[in-house]
Amino acid sequence: MAVAMLVLGGTGFAGRALVEEGLSRGWEVSALNRGLSGSPGPRATHVAGDRLDPATLAPLRTREWELVVDTWSGAPTAVRDSVRALVDRAARYIFISSGSVYAPPPPLGVTELSPTVEASPDLRTGEYSELKRGAEMAVLEAFGDRALIARAGLILGPHENVGRLPWWLTRLAAGGEILAPGPPQLELQYVDVRDLARFVLDASVDGHSGPFNVVSRRGHATMESLLDACLTVAGRDDAQLTWVAPDFVVDSGIEPWTELPIWLPPDHEYAGMHAANVEPAHAAGLSCRPVSETVADTWAWMSRLDGPPPLRGDLPRPGLDPVREREVLAAWHAQSR
Ligand SMILES: NC(=O)c1ccc[n+]([C@@H]2O[C@H](COP(=O)([O-])OP(=O)(O)OC[C@H]3O[C@@H](n4cnc5c(N)ncnc54)[C@H](OP(=O)(O)O)[C@@H]3O)[C@@H](O)[C@H]2O)c1
């Protein structure tokens, strides 16, 4: 009999990939959401519900589920209400958490045992890190060793709604001289959203539980291999990368990570975000496709859209103003002469 999987969410980025991955296995997939952000597609069952109104979760209790996957990033109370509704109806619960739960700044080589931020499942407001940790606690309290917590780092791939890789692709497609923040060999960690989905479903079915850092091994891609892959698929003929030293970029006042998405200078306080220990996830089966595939598939998805890629409304829009980019490049050339 097909596995019955419930995705709480399912129409944005990670949830959408989870729905697709479940369907590709021939599983019976349902997705609970308000129906405001799109549809989980004709092959999945849509369950209308608002997680901020626990009464609407009642239909979930009319049957049993082998797997529940939860992508929530708001108040942990919503997750607390969902696990209470599902604890005697679902065999296993997967929560898509975040590396942000580690006490800041994350140390180089952060492991699943590193200290996390203070939080509570009863939080109604708080920092993103506290909300994600509070939600983890709610899931662990209810499901114990039937819960898998995926502490994803940077997630990239088709349908990305944060705008990081889409910004780089759009920038290379615009052509001209492009500020490439160095060093080229800067090691990156991220996970393709489809690899994340495959890993959590496989690992859960295999009986793994507890927290896992879920990103590629350090150096799976570098800033250079990422931007070269973008250049290959999207770069206009006159697109040309100019590598600028990290100190010069920072001294110019450019914000790492937000103005130049994905990039953090090597000595940045948060450099640990590209340096997590991911051996437990890899030992449990995580496999990461090449960066060229993630980039090409993201560009293919963007090319099929009628307009710009969708962006979550609750996050700042990433990217560097073109005038600022030209000014910093001019200053870089002037001092290099
Ligand atoms: N992007 C990254 O680099 C990154 C890194 C680490 C961790 N993460 C985590 O990954 C997760 C990604 O989530 P996603 O947005 O891609 O998930 P998703 O499941 O694809 O999309 C969010 C879903 O939540 C539903 N939703 C929103 N408000 C709701 C409500 N009140 N009641 C019921 N459903 C509601 C939305 O549908 P409706 O609006 O139609 O209700 C939508 O289906 C986040 O939790 C984030 O913390 C992301």
pLDDT in the model for residue 312: 87
Q: How far is 304 from 147, CA to CA, in rounded Å?
A: 37
315 Cβ below 6 A of ligand 1: no
Q: How far is ligand 1, taken at its centre, from the CA of residue 226, in Å? A: 26
Regarding the beta carbon of 15 and ligand 1, being less than 6 Å apart is answered yes
Mean pLDDT value across residues 294-317: 93
24 SS3 class: helix
**Model confidence at 9: pLDDT above 90:** yes
Q: What is the DSSP letter of 11?
A: S
Residue 152 Cβ contacting ligand 1 at under 6 Å? yes
**216-232 tens-digit pLDDT:** 999 899 999 999 999 99
Q: How many CB atoms lie within 10 A of CB 326?
A: 13
Say how many Å lie between the CA of residue 9 and the centre of ligand 1: 6
Would the CB of 319 count as within 6 Å of ligand 1? no
Average pLDDT estimate for 121-130: 96
Q: Across all residues in the chain, what is the average pLDDT?
A: 97
Domain ranges of the chain: 4-152, 161-188+221-271+291-336
| Mean pLDDT across 144-158 | 98
- Count of Cβ atoms closer than 10 Å to residue 324 Cβ: 14
Please determine, for residue 267, whether its predicted confidence score (pLDDT) is greater than 90: yes
Contact of 93 with 86, CB cutoff 8 Å:
yes
| pLDDT at 146 (0 to 100) | 98
Residues 6+ apart with CB under 8 A from 37: 11, 12
Task: Report the separation in Å between the CA atom of 246 and the middle of ligand 1, taken as the mean of its atom positions.
Answer: 33
For the cut 90, the answer to whether the pLDDT of residue 336 exceeds it is no
Nearest Cα residue to atom 25 of ligand 1: 9
User: In which residue are the tokens 């879920």 written?
Assistant: 214
Nearest-atom number in ligand 1 for the CA of 152 is: 6
Interval 100-109 mean pLDDT: 96
Longest CA–CA span in the chain (Å) reads: 72
Candidates 33, 79, 193, 312: which one to mutate for ligand 1, based on the most atoms within 8 Å of Cβ? Answer: 33
pLDDT band at 87 (very low <50, low <70, confident <90, very high): very high
Centroid of ligand 1 to alpha carbon of 15 (angstroms): 7
Between CA 113 and CA 74 the distance in angstroms is 24
Q: What is the DSSP letter of 310?
A: P
Give residue 315's pLDDT band: very low, low, confident or very high (50, 70, 90).
Answer: confident
Q: What integer pLDDT is reported at residue 33 of this predicted model?
A: 97
Question: Quick one: pLDDT at residue 337?
Answer: 81
* Three-state secondary structure call for residue 309: coil
Measured CA to CA, the distance from residue 152 to residue 190 in angstroms comes to 8
Distance CA 203, CA 210 (A): 11
What token pair was written down for 136?
């983890």
C-alpha distances (whole Å) from 121 to each of 61, 87, 214, 263 are 21, 15, 22, 32
Angle among Cα 132, 133, 136 to the nearest 5 degrees reads 90
CATH superfamily of 4-152: NAD(P)-binding Rossmann-like Domain (3.40.50.720)
Distance (Å) from CA 272 to ligand 1 centroid: 24
Q: What is the mean pLDDT of residues 179-198?
A: 98
The answer to whether 69 touches 14, Cβ cutoff 8 Å, is no
Whole-number Cα distances in Å, 135 to 32, 73, 160: 18, 8, 23
Helices (H), the chain: 14-24, 76-86, 128-143, 164-174, 193-205, 223-234, 246-251, 279-283, 291-304, 322-336
φ, ψ for residue 22 (rounded to 5)?
-60, -45
Confirm if 99 and 152 have CB atoms less than 8 A apart: yes
Picking from 216, 215, 223, the residue whose alpha carbon sits closest to that of residue 185 is 223
Please say whether the beta carbons of 90 and 67 come within 8 A: yes
pLDDT category at 4 given cuts 50, 70, 90 is very high
Range with lowest mean pLDDT among 4-18, 169-183, 303-317: 303-317
Q: What is the pTM of this model?
A: 0.98
Dihedral angle computed from the Cα positions of residues 151, 298, 275 and 269, in that order, rounded to the nearest 10 degrees = -100
What is the structure's pLDDT at 316?
Answer: 85
Where do we find the tokens 């690992």?
203
pLDDT(1) > 80: no
Residue 124: the pLDDT is 93
Structure tokens at 253: 């006042």
